[in-house]
Structure 1
Amino acid sequence: MIHVKYAASNPGGAPTLILAASLGTDREMWREQVLLLPSAWNVVTFDLRGHGASPLTSRIPTIDDFADDVVSIADDLGVDRFAFCGLSIGGAIGQSLGARYPDRVSSLVLASTGLTILTRAALIERSERVLREGTAWIADASAPRWFTERFRDEHPDIVDAKMDHLRHMAPRAYADACLALAGFDGHAIARSISVPTLVLSGEDDVATPPSGCAELAAAIPGAKLGSLPGSAHLCSVERPELFTEFVQRHVEAHH
């Protein structure tokens, strides 16, 4: 059963690449990647449960539930094997996919993520505050974490659109995703990931620092590590050409 809304750029195209966005964003985050990647590819974007056009579900989802949603999308498209790229919480989802569905995933790109993201206590506290106060405060706090000062100055329209989306999303949707992350620990599964993996970090990311990305890459057998200079947490938005180049090279090498 599919719990999420998705869009496919070229159903039947090869390879199929499924993109999972960051907490508090929607599939519009991948607009530049959809434009930049080869038109022969089937690039699939989706909204996490409670994000964008995807409905909330009755119970709090886990990271494994989000990963199962990705497999449901592939099943709905009739796709047996797919490449996957996830950023932030999307990177946690990718770790679950790589460990649990190695026969379905041809390659992984894990961006702006880690074996854990923040701490369990911090995520639970954040979810409780969002439920009490709404999402306006986390939108205000997220802008300098998601984007470098230079990008905020040069592209206020992009930054404002991302913050506006977060400001108006359902508090429970954000809180549920925080709790899903609070229950995730990649230390338990990283060594079992045999899928060819590339870990990407924004050089100026304070939300998921490069050191955490390096730790993740070291924990996954054979994983490679790449860095995007001049970018913070949403490195796919700040450096779309370089980010897409990394992804395209990795996916094509393992298709």
Structure 2
Amino acid sequence: MTFSRIGSGLVHWQEGGPRDAPAVVLVNSLGTDCRIWDDVAARLAGSHRVICYDKRGHGLSDVPPGPYRIADFTRDLISLADAIGLRRFSLVGLSIGGLIGQDLAIRHPDRLAALVLADTAPKVGTVESWTARIDAVRKNGMTAIADAVMERWFTPAFHSLKPDELAGWRNLLLRQPAEGYVATCEALRDADLTGDLVRIAAPTLVVCGDGDQSTPPDLVRAMASRIPGARFELVAGCGHIPPVEQPEQLAELIAQHLAEHATSETLPGLRHHGRFDRDWPCVREPL
């Protein structure tokens, strides 16, 4: 693992794959850290420089005072990319990671070679649903929402067939900083990028688990229809977290898209290298 200090504080990140290969940054979802990408990163690292990081308020990164805005996460990403020497790169964003990807594509189109948006939308949930989620965590901690979140993250088949893995991912959620989780919920509550989707120029692949209850396929498909030239694909047998539940399917879709569109540029004199720890319309409810 590697740590870099940017304007918002300390950021934990990992890197794998050839250092001179096209770079792709994987951005995780609400209530998770970069470990959700382990299986996908290992599959992509044969042909890409793969960077995963813990966004602010999550994992081993710092927890700046909230509330947060999506633009804050985008600035963090640009600062991290500059710190590790990435001028131009591809991005895969899951859930709020996809909102960060959308915002990056809108604000900094010159930095983005290709974009993959997974199980996300330009607006997720309602003010009421996010307010209820925030209040529950503030009053009773992460345990107040853990079981409900697991129902949305994973399909009934995953619950039935992989109870130990389910328990492990529940532990991961419980160990996220409550302050960072709440501040990120506030960013999701206030975000609506619907009107700006037409400005996304990067080649875009949009994917969604066919059993996603947080950002259902029809919602994600509607987003794809607003992005010029975007392609939509379903991930079979999957809920809201494809890199955990169906990593092989997701990695194959990402690899195909990046093979067609990915290029990257490295800023001279700014190469820092970490390693992976492993070899390698609004929804009714919040994530």
The TM-score with structure 2 as length reference comes to: 0.86
What percent of counterpart residues are identical?
36
Q: What do you get for the CA RMSD once the two structures are aligned?
A: 1.3
The verdict on how the C-alpha distance between 1:212 and 1:237 changes in structure 2, with shifts beyond 3 A counting, is same
The offset of 1:27, in angstroms, is 0.4
For each residue in 1:191-221, what CA deviation from the matched residue of structure 2 results, as whole angstroms up to 9, or x when unmatched?
A: 1111111110100111110011011101111
CA distance in 2, matches of 1:175, 1:194: 32
Listed as ranges, the matches of 1:64-83 within 5 Å are 64-83=71-90
Contact in 2 for aligned 1:11/1:77 (Cα 8 Å): no
The 2-side partners of 1:55 and 1:38 are apart by 27
Residues 173-188 of structure 1 mapped to structure 2, 5 A cutoff: 173-188=180-195
- SS of the aligned residue for 2:110 comes to coil
Shift of 1:39: 2.4
Aligned: 1:243 with 2:243: no
The answer to whether 1:51 aligns with 2:63 is no
Aligned to 1:101: 108
Report the AA paired with residue 24 of structure 1.
Answer: G
Equivalent residue for 1:162, pick from 154, 157, 169: 169
Q: State the distance in 2 between where 1:182 and 1:162 align.
A: 24
Consecutive unaligned residues in structure 1, runs of 5 or more: none
SS of the equivalent of 2:208 reads strand
> Are the structure 2 counterparts of residues 123 and 11 from structure 1 closer, same or farther at C-alpha, using a change threshold of 3 Å?
farther
In structure 2, the gaps of 5 or more residues are 1-5, 263-287
Higher relative contact order at CA 8 Å, sep ≥6: structure 1 or structure 2? 2
Tell me if 1:144 matches 2:141: no
Aligned residues: 255
**Separation (CA, whole Å) in 2 of partners of 1:43 and 1:155:** 28
- Counterpart-to-counterpart distance in 1, 2:23 and 2:128: 37
Report the alpha carbon displacement of residue 59 of structure 1 after superposing the two structures with TM: 3.5
Equivalent-residue separation in structure 2 for 1:66 and 1:60 (angstroms): 12
Q: Which residue of 1 aligns with 2:140?
A: 133
TM-score (norm 1): 0.96
The CA deviation at 1:11 is 6.9
